[in-house]
Amino acid sequence: MFKHSPGILRISLGQAVASRPLPVYRRLFGLSSARVLSTHSTFRPFRQSFLLLSTPCTRRTLSLGSIFSRSKPEPTPSPHVVALITRLEAEANVHPHDVSKQLALYEALADTKLRSSYELIVSRWEKMCEFDPSSPLLKSDEAFKLYLTCLRNLDQTSAINDAVRRRDELLAMQTGTVASVNSDSTSSAEAPTSESITSSPSSPQTVSTSGVSSSQSLAQEVLSKSTGPVSAPPPSHSVLDAFKPRSYNGENIQAAPIQVTIVERKGAWVPRLVRFLVLVVVSSFFFLVILSVFFENTGFMKAGPRQSQFEPSEGKTVLFNDVHGVDEAKEELQDVVAFLKDPTAFASLGGKLPKGVLLTGPPGTGKTLLARAVAGEAGVPFFFASGSDFEEMFVGVGAKRVRELFAAARKKEPAIIFIDELDAVGGKRSSRDQQYMKQTLNQLLVEMDGFQQTEGVIVIAATNFPESLDQALVRPGRFDRIIAVPLPDVRGRVQILQHHLKGVVVGKDVDPKILARATPGFSGADLQNMVNQAAIQASKLHAKEVDLRHFEWARDRILMGAERKSQYIDEKAKLATAYHEGGHALVALYTDGAMPLHKVTCVPRGHALGMTSQLPEDDRHSVSLKEYLAEIDVSMGGRVAEELIYGPQNVTSGASSDIRKATRTAQAMVKHWGFSKLGPVYYDDRDESTSPKRKEEIEEEVTKLVRGGEARATALLTAKINELHLLARALVDHETLNLEEVKKVIKGEPIKNITEVLEEDISNVESASA
């Protein structure tokens, strides 16, 4: 049955069962070969066989269940106890049939009250029963009681019944009497209670006068000290029945199949639950991604057909009569209208109309309105799309939407496609860009280049940054007609104001020409906003009509920001702000080439504590060197005024925006306009080829221009120091002064105080409401 060679132990389970028809206790399968070999009667144990007791914990593997079930490691026995047990173990191994020595080792192990000691007692007893069933130790009730007590302490009370039955059978075999095994399979699987133990068979040598064997009595005694209920394994899982022999004559012995019950450790479900949750989350993520891509590309589960995303825009029809201030752009677009109305007229004479029209200009100049006017004049469907509408989080969606837009326009031809903010999708390509970033632009190029000359679909696009567009997009054959839509001039502003004032009740003192001259640089959208703001302000004041004061208030609100009169500012800070703004005003008033002063205030507006507003007398199309120098002087006037009044150590940070403006003007003069000793040379801000020496020279010239402006402002304000004091006190008293009032103040002439102004405003409101 055993083949023993140096360092190798082979056990044939089938031979073991066939040659020894005894029930093999299930703990034998949980022991390693080393431990089986170390306790065999024919094998000399190692000197370190009791090393298990000298370690704090008997587990050799770390599991989550051990962490939750055991908070503290087992205490280590004292060296004296370890030495004693080692000596007793050596004597017990030398004399395996000496009951006294074996019992002394058992008692010494049990006295340590360690789990590892209990496990060693159980292991030695079970190996003795398996490999040396004739040992006299089997007849020792004290040793058997210690064995049962260890089973109870190890929470293995369900194995006590099997242990009692096995001892009784081995004792019966020693006396030559073969004890019959109970044929009722359910009785062998019952819990080891006193009733089940009483019903166990016993040999005459182990049966007491009351019909209960000594093993059963010991089991009852041990179980009576157990505190918890004892649960028996189910009948089908009885290890004893699995190894129950059919006969004891040594012939035709067959073992029943082995049934093993695996008891999981505490907390073993936690790693499985974590793995399950991680698998569910990862699988769900990939499933949702694939599902969303499928829905996006197929249009499944969407209301209506996929093509409905691009439909002709509905709304009020816009004509060229509704567009003002851009007469030249309207004239160029008249050709497009004529082509859409009658394409054959151009084709018969061999003329070819541009495939695309690009409208460029600042925001608010009417580019979108012009495109709608072309569609309204021609009476064709108008398809509107923004440059950002094509982009999506998924690759390829932009190109697909471009195809859908042009397919929808072809079905409605003749039609107009208007793409606003074209720079969002038509920016310049680079070799360093990823391929998916170019797909939308490439598809747009293909769609525009695939048109027939008389197809009847015109593409109109608008952008504020034409220089950022890809060259392949604006080449002849695609956007081959570029129309500039600039800010309106005086005549254009007059036309725009007249158009927007048609629906507003205005006073007799309101003249569109005056308003147009007072609003240089305003776009069509700004003028519309000004008219609307003036009407709202008049309604709030319960006025019967919108007069010039309301328009002036709306203009100042657009230029300077909304007033924040509710913000508390102490007199000291208010006076410092007045000196700062007074310095700006005086430099703007007395510097040759400066833009005319419009209004100065020390009332917080927008994000500023005060503001000085300048307005040109007419539209400025070009600026001279003298005007740029004057602009730098005016920007430095506020800081210089603070330094003259409060000293260099008390200059505040309120001039940060002025310094930034002066520096940017000086940089543009040096790098872009050639207003320096470096000459008429252009230096790009992003040009990396500029040498370090040249950069130093540029910085020196910028500093020189700003310092020169500061010096000129210092000289002027030093000479006008008295006028600066007068203007600052007037600003503190009146808060806001226009150009005429500033001139009166510096001359010492009286002006209306704030009380008179408020009384006049109240009387005007009362007279208007009456």
Record: fold of 490-560: Helicase, Ruva Protein; domain 3 (1.10.8)
Average pLDDT over residues 668-690: 87
Residue 713, pLDDT score = 95
Cα–Cα distance for residue pair 769/369, rounded to 1 Å: 38
* pLDDT interval class at 194 (50, 70, 90): very low
**Binning pLDDT at 50, 70 and 90, where does residue 661 land?**
very high
Q: Which of 615, 528, 532, 611 is nearest to 564 (CA)?
A: 611
Q: Annotated active-site positions, please?
A: 581
CB atoms within 10 A of CB 490: 14
E strands, 247-379, in order: 356-360
Distance spanning both ends of the chain, measured CA to CA: 125
Q: What local confidence, expressed as pLDDT, does residue 288 receive? A: 92
Q: What is the pLDDT of residues 595-647, one digit of tens each?
A: 999 889 888 877 778 888 888 877 777 889 999 999 999 999 999 999 999 99
Fold type of domain 571-761: Methane Monooxygenase Hydroxylase; Chain G, domain 1 (1.20.58)
Distance CA(360)–CA(461), nearest Å, equals 9
Q: Give every strand in the sheet of 611-614, ordered side by side.
A: 611-614, 597-601, 736-738
Could you tell me the pLDDT band of residue 763, with boundaries at 50, 70 and 90?
A: low
Report strand pairing: 415-420 vs 8-11.
Answer: unpaired
Give the residue among 130, 149, 116, 104 at the shortest CA–CA distance from 50.
116
Segment holding 415, helix H or strand E: strand 415-420
Vertex 495: Cα angle to 490 and 501 (nearest 5): 120
Domain boundaries, given as residue ranges, for the chain: 79-168, 320-484, 490-560, 571-761
Distance of CA 184 to the CA centre of its chain: 68
Q: Closest Cα partner for 117 from 95, 140, 86? A: 86
Do the beta carbons of residue 25 and residue 131 sit within 8 Å?
Answer: no
Question: Per mean pLDDT, which range of 89-93, 97-101, 321-325, 562-566 is the poorest?
Answer: 562-566
Instruction: Answer for the pair 340, 414: CB distance below 8 angstroms, yes or no.
Output: yes
Instruction: Read off the pLDDT of residues 207-264 as tens digits, 9 standing for 90 and up.
Output: 444 567 788 888 888 888 764 443 444 443 443 444 444 444 444 444 445 566 666 6
Fold classification of 320-484 (topology level): Rossmann fold (3.40.50)
**pLDDT value of position 3:** 39
